[in-house]
Amino acid sequence: MKKNIDIIIIGFALFSMFFGAGNLIFPPYIGMTSGSGWLTSFLGFVLADIGIILLSINAVAKAGSYQAVVGRAGKKFGISLEFIMMLCLGPILVVPRTAATTYEMSIAPLFGSFNPALFSVLFFGLTFLLTVKPTKVMDIIGKFLTPVLLVALAFLIGKGIISPIGELKSFTGSEELFSTGLTQGYQTMDALGVGGVTALIMTSFLTKGYKDKKENAILTVKASLVAGLGLILVYGGLTYLGATVSTIYDVSISQTTLLINITSHLLGSAGTILLGIVVAFACLTTSIGLTSVTAKYFEDVSNKKVKYEYLVTLICVFSAIVSNLGVDKIISIAAPILTVLYPVSIVLVLMSSFGNLFTKNSTFKGAAYATLLISLLTVIDSLGISVSFVHILPFNNFGFNWLLPAIIGGILGHLFLKDEVNMFYNKAS
């Protein structure tokens, strides 16, 4: 009984850590653009978002750490990739964005004249208080914050199902709808922080007395399934809400405006308040989780020479400053960095998930470096320096133009790079 309760609590916390404000605005827009075909788009979204998350958590849990996965492309490569990724998840991009999003979607609509600098101090002051004790993070999120978030979401979705706003616009072309959902799910880039998040989950189970590594890994996967189920239900509900306004709005409407209008249609002025609560709790839980994950990572990197509490303080202070740049500016900074990091991370995680097929580190190296090259060229092209061939690669329209080069790179690495069989995987499996 205790084990099941622990799985549910940590699963709830994991749900909240992945369910940020970005996840709130994607599904309604997908539904609005899909109408009667919303379920097809939704399935594509789930596959590219939740599917990759679950595969990633499973791979990291089996390997024992994220470094054991990405390090197969080379020790220095793995350390560098993880280090940059954790900086992005922490004070540079993702954590500051949670405060900026909360201000723009929750505080500004309700308290228009509230000072943004003061709000950032209050937001990260609360983040600090709820994060400074690492063993309590998952319990605080799972027991207290997530239930509030779920109740608010359930109320909004339930109202939309009982009293649909409008008719579902008729759509055909299931292949196009599925690819739309697939692309949107990929663009959430939720699996980027899965290494640190998985480590936090496993540590939480460890502090609850589950010291056997195999049992700990199994419980971690089960908690991720709880989170995955929660995400599927919420995403499904939000996608359907979007579909009910498909005859009212078109693709010209912004994702944020669409969500605000849906809540206003369903609940009137009370909808603005409810949306503010949902966004605030979604962003706060993400901020708490990622601040803890990042601080724990850098504490371990420093061999505990820099204490967790000091790192939490540093992250909160720096994030408070960066958050005042605003959501649009932070996103514009984040986009090229994430475009480079995310594909490489996915390739290494997917290959690790099927480790019985990929036993040589040289295969990982070839695939990782080929993916990195294409990702870098894609970013260079987006900055105005023409690298036109990246657009003619297969699956470019889905954001997967790195897929074929990764396969070719893996084959070349396997054939021409000398390497020993990865013994760690054999032991872990």
**Which amino acid, 204?**
S
Residue 88 carries which DSSP code? Answer: I
pLDDT at 375 over 90: yes
Q: Which residues contact 254 (CB under 8 A, 6 or more apart)?
A: none
pLDDT recorded at residue 318: 96
pLDDT at 419 over 80: no
Q: How confident is the model at residue 145 (pLDDT cuts 50, 70, 90)?
A: confident
Q: Residue 352's closest CA among 86, 82, 74, 70?
A: 70
Distances (CA, A) of 319 to 3, 117, 316: 36, 11, 5
**Average pLDDT value over all residues in the chain:** 89
Distances (CA, A) of 341 to 84, 337, 404: 9, 6, 17
Mapping DSSP to helix (H, G, I), strand (E, B) and coil, where does residue 421 land? strand
pLDDT digits (tens, 9 = 90+) for 57-77: 999 998 888 999 999 999 899
Q: Residue 414's closest CA among 344, 363, 345, 359?
A: 363
Class of domain 2-327: mainly alpha
Residues linked to residue 360 through DSSP beta bridges, in sequence order: 421
pLDDT at 428 over 50: no
**Averaged pLDDT for residues 271-290:** 89
Torsion of CA 181, 184, 187, 191, to 10 degrees: -50
Higher pLDDT, 162 or 185: 162
Distances (CA, A) of 204 to 193, 227, 248: 17, 15, 46
Least confident of 1-10, 271-280, 412-421: 412-421
pLDDT digits (tens, 9 = 90+) for 288-342: 989 999 999 999 999 999 999 999 999 999 999 999 998 888 878 887 888 898 8
Torsion of CA 8, 12, 14, 18, to 10 degrees: 150
User: With left for phi above 0 and alpha for psi between -120 and 50, is residue 19 left, alpha or beta?
Assistant: beta
pTM (predicted TM-score): 0.85
Q: Where are the domains of the chain?
A: 2-327, 354-429
